[in-house]
């Protein structure tokens, strides 16, 4: 058994929000069909669950449609 290096940091909390329905109108690098919102939301829920399984305390904010596009389009809260 070798010596395991200590992690330089360890996360304990995560803050995210549900994806807005406008995600299907977002910019993308390829042409083709629009993304499927339901599939996107399901993948996001799996990501949140993975964070919880990793031991993080996850706070999920609910997306609300606003008249400010930058908030409606954001996937993650900085």
CB atoms within 10 A of CB 20: 20
- Pull the structure tokens for residue 54: 């990793």
Whole-prediction pTM: 0.65
Note the pLDDT tens digit of each residue in 19-55: 888 888 777 777 778 888 899 889 999 999 999 999 9
Coil, strand or helix at 24 = helix
CA distance 72 to 42: 18
CA distance 78 to 74: 9
CA distance 48 to 58: 7
């Amino acid at each position: 058994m070798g010596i395991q290096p200590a992690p330089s940091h360890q996360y304990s909390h995560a803050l995210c929000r549900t994806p807005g329905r406008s995600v299907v109108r977002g910019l993308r690098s390829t042409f083709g069909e629009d993304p499927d919102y339901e599939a996107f939301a399901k993948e996001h829920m799996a990501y949140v669950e993975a964070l919880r399984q990793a031991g993080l305390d996850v706070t999920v904010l609910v997306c609300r449609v606003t008249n400010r596009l930058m908030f409606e389009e954001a996937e993650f809260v900085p």
